[in-house]
Structure 1
């Protein structure tokens, strides 16, 4: 057997230690430097939190029209895609150049038309209900007086003395009319002032709508440029991963919006026919409002139902109680059957996680958190399942 040659001192000097064993290591120094810089920036931001928040507010204000435009474009695109598919099936002989302009115009008109229809249905109904309530005040006062007289007589049997009931219905009508229409302090004046204060928001919405229409008209070109930018800037693996997550996010949000719109239509139709059967007034306006607010997951229909109950209460207080009972039954059907099957199934999210996402999102970010918490949670849940699948495959 041949003996292996032993390493001499000269050989050890010729074979230096691996580079990774040298100190200080450049990579470690670089990481430590970045961590220190980030820590200093974070500490400065905490000390000057007001300045940072003002700066972020100004930056957000600059990009608000584009963010609103992106949201509008996404919403219209949910309607645009099926319309283009129908156009391609029905109008095969039509010029290809007409597909996008015609379908985009129809989608925009349909979405904006529904929103304006709901608004213009609710405002006249609210005004009519308020006028009817003022006219019926003498009847309400008389009924309350009879009820209170019965209560006083019942209490007198047990030697309980209650104060007498005295309400001047004419004075009450005068006060309510002044509250509604008085100049400078009335509800209409305050409402008009609030409308003027949101003028800047309307301007942002209009700019966002223009931006959304441009995005939708050139969405394939914009998507191709963004994809090229990602592939150029990032390494191949990271770029593919980012594009995969973006595709998953887009599909999840699309499924969520489609499911939410389907659920809103279902609950609106059920509310409309139920109110007609029970003889509850303002069936069309209240059902449309309930359907629109149902876009907010789980709790949205309660918001619309509360406003609808207030509207009915002004006109016919007795019917308001029936509407609340009917809404309780409708919410049970919506929460246990419609929402888990339509929305939860569309995003691939269990019902328990849907409830948790809506609750946490609402507590953290209000109405917007309730709107977007479900699809965000669905994306995270899908990434979690993918991670667990890869981890189990390694083992």
Structure 2
């Protein structure tokens, strides 16, 4: 009776390898070499982390205008595409070569106009609110004095002696005026300084805007060249994989941005009419700021609401409480009705992953990280689901 032996086949060197294995020795050695090189590079980067971060910081600074331009182009393109479709349907007799220039101009003016309107609405409103607060200080001091006198009388019935209320309104006005309007460290000065520091990157933004307009004007040609470059450089299978990932990324970012823009408009309009009905001041400026900050998932509307509450507090402190209660209700409506319906499945991320993405993105890259972390995480999550699906297939 013949002895059973393991099924083996000889490789090039005559060494037996398990039958069905498609990995020759050269491939195994190549993978091990790559893994060792990556491990060495990673260890060196950890040891020299400061130098690596400085190097990437310099590289990032060189490409900042182009990154800004790409982000601006993507944002404008979200408005440009539906605008071109409407233009082609409504203006069929107009020469086709005018479609792109006209629609691109309208989209750019619309986006930049909204951003500048919010900035230049909020800052004057903040200064006006601060001046109004200073003028009303004597009234607030008198009201607090009457309230405290009632508290003292009530406490005296129970043999509780409270200190007398004594506030010099003129001295308080001087202190508050210094706090708000001081040329070196006042609140308005700090706020304006923050705004001007943002404007200090105007050169990069202008270069980015020029780059964005060029991208949008020739986007079909550029996309065709990039596709041809990928197909030429990479093998067919890898090229198709890269193109499919690019298409997934583009679709995910487009769905996310369009959904967030729609949600921001809805929450801004609801905030505006709600503030008008409740008689809360600065309805236009606060609603516009809430709408813009609502572009940041989860935390955005709260950031805008916090600044809005501060603005209202300076003008009419009593209305600030009503605004906070109104914002709480609005956030419940937004979180349970608007966001699931408008944004909802556009990114296909569980709520926990959205929270993690926004938190990590904000910690790492600030506001831009909070804006782009959700679609980036959505793309990675989609690729993970696709990988798991393919893994279970085999």
Asked if Structure 1 and Structure 2 have the same fold, meaning a TM-score greater than 0.5 normalized by the shorter chain, the answer is: yes
**Contact 2:80–2:107, Cα closer than 8 Å, also in 1:** yes
Alpha-carbon distance in 1 for matches of 2:252, 2:389: 19
Distance across 1 between alignment mates of 2:150 and 2:191: 40
- Cα deviations by residue, 1:16-42 (Å, 9 ceiling, x for unpaired): 999999999333333333333222222
CA drift at 1:98: 0.6
8 Å CA contact 1:45–1:52 kept in 2: the answer is yes
Cα deviation for residue 340 of structure 1 reads 1.0
Give the direction of change, closer, same or farther, for the CA distance of 1:188–1:358 in structure 2 (3 Å limit): closer
Inter-CA distance 309–17: structure 2 relative to 1 (3 Å threshold): closer
What is the rounded CA distance, in whole Å, between the counterparts of 1:112 and 1:52 in structure 2?
A: 36
Q: Could you report, residue by residue, the CA deviation over 1:200-250 in whole angstroms, capped at 9, with x for unpaired residues?
A: 422111111111111101111111111111111111011101101110110
Offset of residue 146 of structure 1:
1.6
Gaps of 5+ in 2: none
C-alpha change, 1:200 and 1:19, in structure 2 (3 Å) is: farther
**Secondary structure at 2:117's aligned position in 1?**
helix
Displacement after TM superposition at 1:78 (Å): 0.3
- Aligned equivalents of 1:205 and 1:95: distance in 2? 32
SS at match of 1:322: helix
- Report the TM-score when normalising by structure 1: 0.89
Change in Cα spacing, 1:355 to 1:196, as seen in structure 2 (3 Å) is closer
Per-residue Cα deviation, 1:120-171 (whole angstroms, up to 9, x for no partner): 2212211111111000000111111122222223333333333222211111
State the match for 1:336 in structure 2: 336
Contact 1:344 1:350 in 2 (8 A): no
CA contact (8 A) 1:152 1:161 kept: yes
Farther-moved stretch of structure 1 (361-370 vs 239-248): 361-370
Deviation at 1:174, TM superposition (A): 1.6
Query: Is the contact between residue 183 and residue 189 of structure 2 (CA under 8 Å) also seen in structure 1?
Result: yes
Q: State the alpha-carbon separation in 1 of the partners of residues 351 and 40 from structure 2.
A: 43
Q: Closer, same or farther in 2 for the Cα pair 1:144/1:225, shift >3 Å? A: same
| Cα distance change of structure 1 residues 301 and 23 upon mapping to structure 2, 3 Å threshold | closer
Number of paired residues? 393
Q: Which residue of 2 aligns with 1:284?
A: 284
Judging changes above 3 Å, is the alpha-carbon distance between structure 1 residues 168 and 93 closer, same or farther for their aligned structure 2 residues?
same
Instruction: Tell me how large the CA RMSD over aligned residues is.
Output: 4.1
8 Å contact 2:8–2:16 — kept in the other structure?
Answer: no
Taking structure 2 as the reference length, what is the TM-score of the superposition?
0.89
Q: Is the 8 A contact 1:72 1:208 kept in 2?
A: yes
My pick for the range that moved more, 168-177 or 23-32, is 23-32
Point out the more displaced range, 12-21 or 382-391: 12-21
| Matched residue, 1:113 | 113
TM-fit CA distance, 1:6 = 19
CA contact (8 A) 1:84 1:103 kept: yes
Contact 2:7–2:18 (8 Å) recurs in 1: no
Kept in 1: contact 2:83–2:103 (CA 8 A)? yes
Q: Closer, same or farther in 2 for the Cα pair 1:225/1:135, shift >3 Å?
A: same
Q: Is residue 215–residue 222 contact of structure 1 (8 Å, CA) maintained in 2?
A: yes
Higher alpha-carbon Rg: 1
CA contact (8 A) 2:123 2:192 kept: no
Structure 2 vs 1, CA of residues 319 and 213 (structure 1 numbering), >3 Å: closer, same or farther? same
**Which piece of structure 1 moves more, 162-171 or 197-206?**
197-206
Matches within 5 A, 1:274-353: 274-351=274-351, 353=353
- Whether the 8 Å CA contact 1:137–1:169 is kept in 2: the answer is yes
Change (3 A) 1:21 1:376: closer
Q: Is residue 248–residue 379 contact of structure 2 (8 Å, CA) maintained in 1?
A: yes
Q: CA deviation at 1:9?
A: 17
Judging changes above 3 Å, is the alpha-carbon distance between structure 1 residues 236 and 258 closer, same or farther for their aligned structure 2 residues?
A: same
Deviation of the 1:337 alpha carbon:
0.6
